[in-house]
Every structure is written in C-alpha cells, then in structure tokens.
Amino acid sequence: MITTFLRIIKYGFLSFWRNALLSTATLSVIILALLVFEGLIISNVLTKTALTSLQEKIDISIYFKNDTLEDDVLKIKKSLEGLAEVKKVEYISKDKALEIFKEKHKDDPAIKQSLEELEENPLLASLNIKANDPQKYGIIADYLDKTDFKTWFEKVTYAQNAIVIERLGKIIDTAEKGAFVLIIFLALIAILITFNTIRLAIYSNREEIGIMRLVGASNSFIRGPYVIEGIIYGLIAGIFSVIIALPIIYFLSPYIQIFIAEMNLWNYFTSNFIGILIYQLIFGVALGVISSVIAVRKYLKI
C-alpha cells in the first residue's frame, strides 16, 4: 500500500514536469489568486487596526455654559457613569482646559500673547464620554438629548463623530466586498486553468492510461497522480505567494505606519508567518485539488 502511494506521488511529479509550460502558467494564476487572498487577510488586519485606533480617538464631548456650577457638572458626570453603555467619563474644568490649551500652543507667540491680554478664561468646562462599544454612542446621545440637564449644555459634539464612524465603516465594508469578489474571480480562473492543464495531461497520457488499464491498475492508481499534480500546484503556489509578499510588505511597512501608527505591518507578518503560510497552503491545495478532481471525473472515464 505504501509502495503504491509512493508510486502515485512519483507519477504525479512526472506529470507536473512533463507539461512545464502549462504548469508555469497554471502556477502563475494560482499564485496571483493566493496573493490577493493574502492581501485580503492583511487588509482586514489593517482596517481593523485603523478603525480601533480611530474609535479610541472618538468620544462625545459636552461643553457647559459659563454659568453652570461645577457641582452640577459633577452630578451629570455621576449620572452618565451609571449608564451601561458608558466606559469612562472625564471631567475637564475650565482651568484644566486652559492649561491643556496653553501646553498645546506653547510655541505659538500670537496665541500666548492673546491669552495674556484676556481678563478671564474664555474656555468652557466639559465632559468627555467614552463608550464601551462605538455603536452605543447613539444611545448615549439620545440620553443626553432627553435629559433635564441639557439646558446647561452649550454644545454636544456627537453628530460629526457619528458621520466619521459611519463613513469609515462604509469604506471598509466596500473594500472588503471588492476584495472578496476579486478573490472569487481569480480562484475561478485558477480552477479553470488547472482543470485544463490536468485535462491536457490526461489526453497526452491516454495511451499510457490504456496500458495501465490492460495490466489491471486500480482506479485510484490511475486517477491518483492527477490529484497529486493538483496538490503540487497548490503547495508550490502557496510557498511562492508568501515569498513574493515578503519584500513587498517590508517595503510598504514604514509607509503604512505613517498612516496607522499602531500598526507595524512587517512585525505582524513575521510574527504570524507560519499561520499565514498555512492559510496560503490550504487555499492553494484546495484550488488545485478541486480543479484536478473535476477534470479527472469528467475526462478520465474508468
């Protein structure tokens, strides 16, 4: 049994090398499909990191009128902290807001001089609210709109943040759908080309297959090499797709980090190298096996 299996593998490799030109074309298409699949994995990580980073920077800020007492602001803070949707509420007094503003613009002499000429603090006290889930900001905003305290509010910054989250979500969703459609398209092309390669291999070996039938070779022994050939396509394409991606990711990593500071793409890729390689091999072998099995069933009548 082991001898038979080894012979099937041997004939699979022989079939692969006999059609070198067709094998190269088939591998190229499968590699391209796998590169897109790999790109989808990485882009999914990038978009999630970017979205998380943006969500961390987004909050609801309530600015209070000048005549609002600090005790009243603290009451509102306590009431918000009682909401299940709220993760954290930070109180920034007028004095604290002025300190932050001065620190932020300490290198701007014009602003510094303007502040010195003012007789009183022009900034407003505020509460910055962080939600446990970005989708819950709407619930918090509704609560603020219905509360009796809203007469003390000067401004609530929610609408513009909601638009940012919604637009970013739509962009990410569209990009993911587009990449998925492209993978399906390339996978179908890869299956079609591999299917035709196996079909031509069966046709070119038809006399040899006839002799094998006459001498009593089993169905699995005759069919096996062509399935092995499909597996070989998938394995080689999977390995090459990762090798090709390495220099591309190394080159792009510093540029991506400019836009997404929290994401070091090269470190992510190298630390997850084995997992990505396994995904690529599984996807590549699946493409090869599916197309070879279809070709064998259709054209190798035993």
**Model confidence pLDDT, tens digit, residues 242-286:** 999 999 999 988 888 887 777 888 998 899 999 989 988 998 888
**Is the domain of 37 the same as that of 171?**
yes
| Distance, CA of 136 to CA of 41 (rounded, Å) | 28
One domain for residues 25 and 82: no
Q: Read off the CATH number of the domain in which 101 is found.
A: 3.30.70.3040
With a threshold of 0.85, does the pTM exceed it? no
Q: Are residues 42 and 181 located together in one domain of the fold?
A: yes
SS3 63: strand
Residue 191 vs residues 42, 78, 180: alpha-carbon distances, Å: 24, 61, 16
Let me know whether 121 and 98 are in one domain. yes
Please check whether residues 183 and 295 belong to one and the same domain.
yes
Cα dihedral sign, 187-189-194-195? positive
Q: Across the strands, what pairs with 89?
A: 129
Is it the case that residue 25 has pLDDT exceeding 70? yes
Note whether 263 and 49 are within 8 A (CB): yes
List the Cα angle 19/25/26 in 5-degree steps. 85
**In this structure, are 153 and 249 located in the same domain?**
no
Q: Which of 157, 179, 195 is the last residue of a domain?
A: 157
What's at 108, amino acid-wise? D
In sequence order, what are the beta bridge partners of 219?
Answer: none
Domain holding 49, by residue range, is: 2-54+166-299
Point out the domain boundary residue: 129, 157, 185. 157
Whether 21 and 130 share a structural domain: no
Nearest-angstrom CA–CA distance, 37 and 52:
23
Domain count, the chain: 2
Q: Which residue has the higher pLDDT, 228 or 114?
A: 228
Q: Are residues 180 and 137 in the same domain?
A: no
